[in-house]
Copies of this chain bind each other. A is one copy, B any other.
C-alpha cells in the first residue's frame, strides 16, 4: 500500500504551502549526523509497524481523533517517558500502573479529550479503551499504551472511542503514519513527523516519529505527545536510557509558557524487523543515540516554533561552573514574559535577561554575568558595554535568536529553546471561552 498521489497533495496542504517540501532538519541548532538520511514524509513506517487514524466524533470539528499503531513483531522492546506533573491525566496513570513499559506493542491515542481531572471514572474509561484495543489487535492490555490530548475536565466519550478503535483496527497500514499523525493533532499548524534512515556498522535501520503539541500546554488542547518507531533490534535495557537521555536533551529543554501538561507522553517501540541489532556499549548504540537526539531535538524545535501565536523562537545557552544555577538561569530567561514579549517585538532589550536571572539567582549578588545576543556582547560583568546597536537590532529580527549567558566558573552548560509571547497567544488563551 502506498501513500502517493492524493496523500502527497494533502500533506503539502497540511504543511501550508512551500514548507511541505522543506527538509526535516531545518534549524541551525540541530546537526544531522552524516550517517542519517531524511526519507521525507512519504516513507511510511519502519518495518514491523502498521498504523491508522480515523474520525470517530470526539472532536466536534469532525477531524480525525483516534489513532492506533501496532508492532507486528512479538519480540519488540520499548521505553516511555511521562509528564512529571502530580496532576497527571488518567491515561498517564494507566500507562505507569498497568503497562509493561519495556514490552509495549501498541499505542492507542485520542485527541479532543485529555481525560484529565476525571478521577476514578477517567481511569475506568482509559482501561476500557485499552482492553478494547488489545482485543482488536490480539495483544495483552498491558502491551497497549494509551495517551490522550484535548480538553481537561471532560470525561472520555467511551462509546465513540470504542467505535473508533474498531474502525481504526481495520485500517492499519504500513504507511498509516500520516493518518495516525492527524488523529493526534490539536491546534498544531505544522506537521511534526519524520522518517530517518541510519547507516550503522551492522546495517541500515529506520526511525520514524509522529509528534504533536502546538508547542504549548493548554487545558483546551493540552500536551506534547511523541511516538517513535524503529526497526532496529534494541534491548529494553538499552532503549530506556537512550530515550531518557534524548528526551532530556530535547523536549525537556523547551518552553512555550512554562506550564507542564497533565498528559505529556513519549514512547519508543523497536520492532527489530530490520534484523540489525544495536548492542549496548558499542559504536552503533552511540550512533543510534546521536540520530535519536537529532530527531527529537528537531521535533522539539518544531513544537516550540508552532507554539500558539509564535512568531520567533530563541535558544538561551548558559555556561559557567554550576550546572544547577545555569539551569535556573536558562529557564528563568525562557519563561520570562518580558523576554518573550521582547522576542516577539524584535526588541533587543537585554535588561530583561538581567532581570530574569537576577531574580532567579538572588544569592549570586552582585550578578557578574556576561550576555551576548547573536554573538554581539551587550553586557559585561552585569554592566552595560559598548556595542553596535544597529547590528543588534537587525540580529533580533531573525526567525531564530540566540542568547548566551556567561556566569562564573567553567565546565557546565544548560540550554532551553523557547517561543515568544504574542497577541495571538493572549487571544487564543483568553478570548475563546472553553
Contact = CB atoms under 8 A, between A and B. Distances in A.
Interface stretch (A245-253, A271-279, A342-350): A342-350
A261 to B, nearest CB: 7
A434 B349 contact: yes
Contact of A85 (B87, B218, B355, B432): B355
Nearest to A335: B258
B258 A337 contact: yes
Interface in A407-434: 420-423, 425-427, 429-434
A261 B352 CA distance: 9
A127 interface: no
Interface string A138-155: 000000000000011101
Interface string A231-275: 000000000000000000000000001111110000000000000
A358 interface: yes
Interface stretch (A37-45, A53-61, A361-369): A361-369
A86 interface: yes
A209 interface: no
A122 interface: yes
Which one of A84, A85, A262, A367 has the greatest number of beta carbons of chain B within 10 Å?
A: A85
Contacts of A335: 258
Interface string A151-165: 111010000000000
A217 interface: yes
A118 B379 CA distance: 10
B362 A429 contact: no
A381 interface: yes
Given A86-B366, A337-B337, A347-B433, A117 B384 contact: yes
A127 to B, nearest CB: 16
A338 interface: yes
Interface string A11-30: 00000000000000000000
Contacts of A349: 219-220, 433-434
A43 B305 CA distance: 55
A359 interface: yes
Contacts of A365: 85-88
B421 A338 contact: no
A262 B358 contact: yes
Contact of A259 (B338, B369, B432): B338
Contacts of A151: 351
A338 B384 contact: no
Given A217-B355, A262-B358, A345-B431, 4 more contacts: A86-B367, A87-B357, A393-B433, A421-B430
16 contacts: A84-B359, A86-B364, A86-B365, A87-B354, A87-B366, A116-B354, A117-B383, A152-B354, A218-B352, A257-B338, A258-B335, A259-B352, A337-B337, A341-B430, A345-B431, A346-B433
